[in-house]
Structure 1
Amino acid sequence: MPWAAKLIKQNSENRIAVYFQKNQDLIARIKQIEGARWSQQKTVWHIPDTIENRERFNIESLANSLPSMEAIEQIEKFKQWMRSKRYRQSTIDTYSEALKSFLVFYREKPVAEINNEDVIIFNNDYILKKKLSASYQNQTVNAIKLFFRTVRETKIEVDKIHRPKRAKLLPNVLSKEEIKLILNAHNNIKHKMMLSLIYSCGLRCSELLALQPAHIDSLRNIVLLKNSKGKKDRIVPLSSKILEMLRDYYKVYKPKTYLFEGQTIGLQYDARSLQLILKQALQKSEITKPATLHWLRHSYATHLLESGTDLRYIQELLGHNSSKTTEIYTHVSTKSI
């Protein structure tokens, strides 16, 4: 067979990725399929996820991968309920997809008849069989518990649904020397500015992308983070060096709505493009660690701790609800070692 195909997610849409060695004839043929597009990021051609296309590329039956009509209605009601409760869109998407996997597994069973034993069977015959991660299992449990709290008629006893045992993983931390190499890797001022702000303020990726020019208080040398994780506002200090960089950046780009905008004025910079900027910085710095943007936040917290900053203060800067979350950095700090 000259190609291989598999299901992928592209911009939250189900698509079929078609892999083949570069061949002008095959490219011409794939272009003839309605809706075919090339992904520069994934370096693959992808086409709409339809029954016809699945049959064309021998993908498993579409019918077996969709929930029942009742489940589709229930998932939509669940989405509406989460929106009314002001859940973040990323949480709504994650929980909906996790619940969908569960209800597809029981597509022949009425939702009202699903019980706790079914959750255990799903964990064993789907999650463990597919060797899915404990974090995915935990997300699914969260989705199932939240969903069945909104269902009036159910055999599920929500409080008796058990979570998987959490793996005790330490945060990944880069050295100060590695951070310096990463932050100096790009000549593009926007790329350098985004990475520098994430590290110097300990930001989450979503927090950086949600920043607006008005959130930078240059008189008080602080950054105001609005409506961050957990629907909380918080402030973080802004160094004079970063403030000078921001002023230079602002003169060049003159952002309108968001501090960092993509090619379309007024729209947030794309999170995947930001991850790619870090990847390029790692390559230029010849750092082989599989670092992510969140590693910069972990490094910020650890370096503060190593410099003698009080753990309670670091907790406030990171926006952690519990001090136990922040205490994990004591296990990777070289100060305690």
Structure 2
Amino acid sequence: MQSEIPDDWQFELTEHHHKPVILIRFPYDKEGLTLVRRLTGVRWSQSRRAWYVLDTPMYRQRFGLQTELAGKEVLSQIHPVNQPALERFIQTLQLKAYSPSTIRTYRNEFAQLLYLLKDKLVDDLTVDRLRDYFAYCINKLDLSENTLHSRINAVKFYFEKVLQRERFFMEIPRPKKRIILPNVLAINQIEKLFAQLENLKHKTMIYLAYSAGLRVSEVVNLKIKDIHSERMVINIRGAKGKKDRIVALSEGILELLRSYYTTYKPTDWLFEGQYAGEPYSARSLQSLFHRAKEAARIRQDVTFHSLRHSYATHLHEAGADIKLIQELLGHNDLKTTLRYTHVSQRTLERIKSPFDALNLKKG
């Protein structure tokens, strides 16, 4: 099987749509295109400009990639000598009130190092040995920049926060992060997407997400008390980074919310799930978005989060100040918000291609 894969194919282990995947790149030709399309479950990513498959042991073996055990599997195979280190690591993360998802990510990344060490005590590692380990992650495991950053952060946390070895990582360089511009829907695409929504509840959730630039988790975690119609604002509580923020409430959305409230009569959560007293499932809302996207025949590789990207970009195109957009989105760093200026028509419309200045014969 592995011999079928051409030598000029390149692979990258990364995450896409919150799932571990293997990106596949190769020189464009009919033979390569035919071969890649034979792979079970292969898909094209417009944002990454690459084909991809789910990151599975089968595909790692087929592509000749180094394999790592999955998170839960590796946890059960850490040598007893390093089990206390893992326990102190998790406890410190909990005491510092890190989010469950961050604790899970850090735990799994740190566990990969502990598993590889076998019976060697992690506390005895030197800076040079850690440099060698991260080089191994790049050269043998072929980890993506984002995954490698997570692993470095996890190991750094252990040595500097658990063992209290200050500035232990000063001599370990970090890989340069790949800059990926956000995928943005045009206004007419937003309208086509919205036109596919007939159910009042579904319509209210997705309209609300775009109208205020909300993450999927922020939509499903809204409570009735978070909507302030008198002040025309929405309170977003405990968002990413454990931050509260206030966003504007659209007049059109307020009318839709009133109609929704009259019909569904929620009691606590604004959008209740299948069972009483539980919020709507984030995964169900994401699936709902993808069904509407497919029905609208939108071919770009967009996700529910693209509604937030589109909100920010459309605000910028309408003349909103970039600092205001930063506050509305809850970004700590202005650099994160500035990405939207790179995909904004307000910026691009000032650019005239030199091609338009050429004196060419028509036809």
User: Secondary structure in 2 aligned to 1:233?
Assistant: strand
Match for residue 124 of structure 1 among 120, 128, 135: 135
Cα 1:216–1:67 change in 2 (3 A) is: same
**Alignment partner, residue 12 of structure 1:** none
Q: CA deviation at 1:123?
A: 2.7
Please give the residue correspondences for 1:183-194 in structure 2 after superposition, counting only pairs within 5 Å: 183-194=194-205
2:149 maps to which of 125, 138, 147: 138
Contact 2:286 2:304 in 1 (8 A): yes
Structure 1 position 300, deviation (Å)? 0.5
CA contact (8 A) 2:215 2:305 kept: yes
Q: What SS does the aligned partner of 1:227 have?
A: strand
CA separation of 1:80/1:303 partners in 2, compared to 1, >3 Å: closer, same or farther?
Answer: same
User: Conserved in 1, the CA contact under 8 Å of 2:137 and 2:148?
Assistant: no
**In the alignment, which of 169, 194, 198 is matched to residue 209 of structure 2?**
198
Alpha-carbon distance change, 144 to 113 in structure 1, aligned in 2, over 3 angstroms: same
Q: 1:88 matched to which residue of 2?
A: 99
Q: Give the alignment of 1:226-305 within 5 angstroms.
A: 226-305=237-316
The answer for the alignment partner of 2:319 in structure 1 is 308
- Kindly provide the amino acid, as one letter, of the partner of residue 158 in structure 1: F
SS at match of 2:190: helix
Distance, in Å, in 2 between the alignment partners of 1:155 and 1:244 is 55
- Percent of aligned positions with the same letter in both sequences? 41
**CA-CA distance at 1:97 after TM superposition:** 1.3
2:182 matches 1:171: yes
Distance 1:291 1:155, change over 3 A: same
The secondary structure found in structure 1 opposite 2:220 is helix
Q: Read off the aligned partner of 1:194 and give its amino acid letter.
A: M
Structure 1 window deviating more from structure 2 (175-184 vs 73-82): it is 73-82
Deviations 1:262-287 (A, max 9, x none): 21222222222221111101111011
Contact persistence 1:275–1:293 (CA under 8 A):
yes
Q: Could you say if the C-alpha distance between residues 334 and 64 of structure 1 is closer, same or farther in structure 2, counting changes exceeding 3 Å? A: closer
User: Quick one: distance in 2 between partners of 1:258 and 1:69?
Assistant: 44
C-alpha distance in 1, partners of 2:160/2:343?
39
Identify unmatched segments of 5+ residues in structure 2: 1-18, 21-69, 349-363
Cα separation, partners in 2 of 1:77 and 1:184, compared to 1, 3 Å: farther
> Who is 2:65 aligned against?
none
Tell me which residue corresponds to 2:193: 182
Change (3 A) 1:75 1:197: farther
Q: Which runs of 5+ in 1 are unaligned?
A: 1-7, 10-58
The offset of 1:297, in angstroms, is 0.7
Contact in 2 for aligned 1:201/1:300 (Cα 8 Å): yes
After superposition, the Cα gap between the structure-2 partners of 1:247 and 1:64, relative to the gap in structure 1 and judged at 3 Å, is: closer
C-alpha distance in 2 between matches for 1:92 and 1:195: 30
Deviation digits for residues 168-218 of structure 1 (CA, Å, limit 9, x no counterpart):
221111111111122221212222222111111011222222211100001
Question: What SS does structure 2 have at the residue aligned with 1:137?
Answer: helix
Output the TM-score relative to the length of structure 1: 0.76
Cα deviation for residue 118 of structure 1 reads 3.2
- How far the C-alpha of 1:154 sits from its partner, in A, is 6.9
> 2:77 maps to which residue?
66
Deviates more, 1:303-312 or 1:97-106: 97-106
Return closer, same or farther for 1:162/1:86 CA change in 2, 3 Å cut-off.
same
Aligned AA (1:129): K
The letter for the 2-side match of 1:157 is: F
After TM superposition, the structure 1 stretch with the greater mean CA deviation from structure 2, 136-145 or 105-114, is 105-114
**Structure 1 runs (4+) greater than 3 angstroms displaced:** 62-65, 70-73, 153-156
Deviations 1:118-166 (A, max 9, x none): 3333333335433332111111111111122233387992333322111
Is the alpha carbon distance of 1:76 and 1:189 closer, same or farther for their aligned partners in structure 2, counting shifts above 3 Å?
farther
Q: CA deviation at 1:222?
A: 0.7
Offset, 1:314: 0.5
Q: 1:131 to 1:219 in 2, by over 3 A?
A: same
State the SS of the aligned residue for 1:335.
Answer: helix
- What SS does the corresponding residue of 2:274 show, helix, strand or coil? coil
CA–CA separation in structure 2 for the residues paired with 1:239 and 1:83: 38
Q: What SS does the aligned partner of 1:336 have? A: helix
Change (3 A) 1:252 1:161: farther
Amino acid at match of 2:336: T
Q: Which has the higher contact order (CA 8 A, sep 6+)?
A: 2
